[in-house]
Amino acid sequence: MKVYHGSKLIIKKPNVNGSKKYNDYGPAFYLTRDLSSAHEWACRNGSIGYVNSYEFNNRELKVLDLTDKSKFSVLNWLAVLMHYRDLDDSFVNSFSARLEFLEKNYFIDVLKYDYVIGYRADDAYFRFPLDFIRGNITLEQLEQSFELGKLGVQYVLISQRAIDRLTYIESVLSDEKYVDKYFENVRSATKRYDLLSKEADGIRILDIMKGQ
């Protein structure tokens, strides 16, 4: 399959440890199959970057597909996210029991896999899962938030074995039109989320904890 990585850099030889430590799924190489999303990511800091293209041979690799609703729930994704993200101390202290519950009951060790397919929750969207843990939104609303502003799905290469299956194709300088596109999507998602979060009915995290 063809995959893309938006960046300020031309990356011919990806590195498993090239990303930030506290990204959604920890240190890994993050990719997308959506070309438009890669362009937006390349330009997300207000300047034009590059879209690096690769061919990914995923045969015989061990995959964790968190978007497969027949096997996993949004709570599995949430537990992984909370495990790897750098959370504010005050948030951790206030909601330690809820975070421990997620870790104990829903966390999946991504390091046992070669790559992960999962939702993206970059900094602009991170308030959504945090609001669920605070009890401000329901499980149904959290699931719906994935569709806001084209949040997107990531292909996250965890192992060196997966990295070695990438064949570099080219790096293309993005277009100025994508500089504002990312932030337009963020504003649109935030506006729709604010309307969504006003709906009160549904399952909240404390309901899930009581049901265990």
Helix axes 96-106, 127-134, angle to 10 degrees: 110
Q: Is 211 exposed, middle or buried (CB count within 10 Å of its CB: 0-12, 13-18, 19+)?
A: exposed
Convert the pLDDT of each residue in 82-96 to its tens digit: 999 989 999 999 999
Selection from 178, 79, 81 nearest residue 126 by Cα? 81
Convert the pLDDT of each residue in 104-157 to its tens digit: 999 999 999 999 998 877 666 788 889 999 998 899 888 877 665 445 789 999
Read off the pTM. 0.87
**DSSP secondary structure code for residue 7 in this structure:** E
